[in-house]
Structure 1
Amino acid sequence: MFPLQDNWPEPSQADFAITDAGPASILLHEMISSKTAGGREIDRLDQPPARQKPMQVLCLGLSRTGTTSMVHALERLGYRSYHFNETVEMQRKGKMHLLCWREALEAKLYGRGAAFGLAELEKLLHEYTAVTDAPCANFVDELIAAYPDAKVVLTTRDDEPWLRSMEASYYDILGVSAWPFVRWLDPPGLGALYDVLRLILVDWTGGPWRDRAALRDGARRHNEHIRALVPKERLLEFRVQQGWEPLCKFLGKDVPDEPFPRKNEGKHTLTKLRVGMALKTLKVVVLVAVSLLRMAALPALLVGATALFLSSRR
């Protein structure tokens, strides 16, 4: 339907020159405001309050290495963990985390704007005591520098099963044919989601994000970098199949009397995304239709009002 393009044009104010200030024009203005306004999105977030609890666990394994299971495990052990799902949830609450992570990735990869450090990271993570999954896993050096006392968990997985899982999640999602239209329709929401997912892969592959061999090699480099960077006493290499024992020993926690969580949301993500795209498209179509109907009715209302006024003057 719509061929994928990395350089799909971003909308400008002229693209949405609607004279009626109805709901459609308001919505369309909001959709492009983040692209046309100056300054960084991260700087628009409120300054965070002082931390109540320190950052304690940096789970820096790549996506699809058991990161969703780790979220549930860490929560069971008393941590509050920031996962990719949190970026979407915060976006829904108007905090625009997807836009902020896009800024962070573009600064890291292309030098666009200032790099993210402790001040920026705290705006996103100050409520959390642990992080898992991308995009946090794309900022190993920055997170370790910002939170030097946190313990580091490196979740790993064999190459071939991991690549198949990435194929069924990231690549299937980015391969949805309607992306160019939806990115144009909703730049700060679904458009930013596409950008962040693609930039995550650009980072891990070193550029050619569609190249699966480059992704495999990038994952190996990622893991080796963490092994070289983090002192052994602060690092746990972990596979979710190992269960509670090594994780709890490393974190100094009692072993829960229940099975280790085994969660896999990847198979549901594509379906949820397609539903979200359809609902977003339907919402905009309805609002545009309402505004167009209002604009079409305006001349008739003016004629009627004029006739009524003239008849009252007789």
Structure 2
Amino acid sequence: MKVIMAGINKTGTKTMGAALTILGYEVYDWMENFWFIGDDWIKEINDGIKVESLRRMYKGVDAVTDCPCNAYWEEILEAFPDAKVILTVRDEDDWYKSLIKQFSELDMFRLRLVSFTTYTGYKMFKYTQHATRFLGNARHWPWQKNRLHNEEALKRMFRKHNFYVQQKTPKDQLLVVNTRELDWEVLCEFLGVPVPNVPFPHKNKGANIMQELRATKPALHRIDLEFKISMACFAGVCAFGAYRLSPYIPFQRIKAMFGF
């Protein structure tokens, strides 16, 4: 492990994941954490984070970003004490608005529907509830809407998190940067790597990441396939039920009623 992104969600975590990938790091972002070690994370969060488990989970991984890693950054640093820590920050009013917009997108009917009609969708729902627990997300069933703490509580958590990271991380291993000032020069100087000859990525601006994730992540491809299978099975059951009930349906009376 070389880099731990300790910035809270909606402080450029997707941008950092993309930038570190361009630099050649093996990055575990939110989807990678779910797809490869989601069951491990649920167990660790429920039973207590163990350093030896984190070393096993992240063997061969160079960098982590997004939740739940930003909530347990200190435990990951304990497991990999030589790693560098990046804390991205932004104006807390802008951060709060962006966070609420992101969770509103996750409340889309289709996403809630696949959470209880597909196996992988339900697993992602359970993982997400554990991974975002530190944000106060209290949704217990897939058909419920996301519920976060009130604005004051979330902003207080945001301030405390940023202050704690700066107090507990060795200064020579920490980069604190505002998302507006994040670029190749700042990042590469801190990491001690050459600046690549490509534009700096800016991901999930406006909290519209789901469309891009659906096009690139295998977990969401699996969910799409399972959803189609579920809907086909549902349609088949309905058709069979209609066939079995057809002798008892008064078609002639219905036709006469509507003038057919």
Q: TM-score range by the shorter chain?
A: 0.7 to 0.9
**3-state SS, counterpart of residue 75 of structure 2:** helix
Matching residue within 117, 122, 143 for 1:185: 117
Deviation (angstroms), 1:120: 2.3
1:144-169 Cα deviation digits (max 9, x unpaired):
11111101111111112211211221
Taking only the aligned residue pairs, the percentage that are identical comes to 27
* Residue number in structure 1 paired with 2:63: 130
Matching residue within 29, 41, 45 for 1:83: 29
Deviates more, 1:239-248 or 1:67-76: 239-248
Deviation (angstroms), 1:115: 1.9
Q: Which runs of 5+ in 2 are unaligned?
A: 139-146, 215-219, 241-260
**3-state SS, counterpart of residue 138 of structure 1:** coil
Does structure 1 conserve the Cα–Cα contact (< 8 Å) formed by 2:129 and 2:137? no
Amino acid at match of 1:214: A
* Residue number in structure 1 paired with 2:251: none
How do 1:289-300 residues align onto structure 2 when only pairs under 5 Å count?
A: none
Q: 1:181 to 1:69 in 2, by over 3 A?
A: closer
Does structure 2 conserve the Cα–Cα contact (< 8 Å) formed by 1:59 and 1:133? yes
Paired positions, count = 227
Matching residue within 73, 93, 99 for 2:39: 99
**3-state SS, counterpart of residue 162 of structure 1:** helix
How do 1:1-314 residues align onto structure 2 when only pairs under 5 Å count?
A: 55-88=1-34, 90=35, 95=36, 97-105=37-45, 107=46, 114-173=47-106, 175-177=107-109, 182-186=114-118, 188-205=119-136, 209-242=148-181, 243-264=183-204, 266-269=207-210, 280-287=226-233
TM-score (norm 1): 0.61
Deviation (angstroms), 1:291: 7.9
1:220-276 Cα deviation digits (max 9, x unpaired):
111111111101111100234321222222111122333322122631416977x97
Q: Distance in 1 between matches of 2:213 and 2:179?
A: 25
Q: Distance in 2 between matches of 1:222 and 1:203?
A: 11
Q: Which runs of 5+ in 1 are unaligned?
A: 1-54, 108-113, 295-314
**3-state SS, counterpart of residue 208 of structure 2:** helix
RMSD (CA atoms): 3.3
Does structure 1 conserve the Cα–Cα contact (< 8 Å) formed by 2:55 and 2:80? no
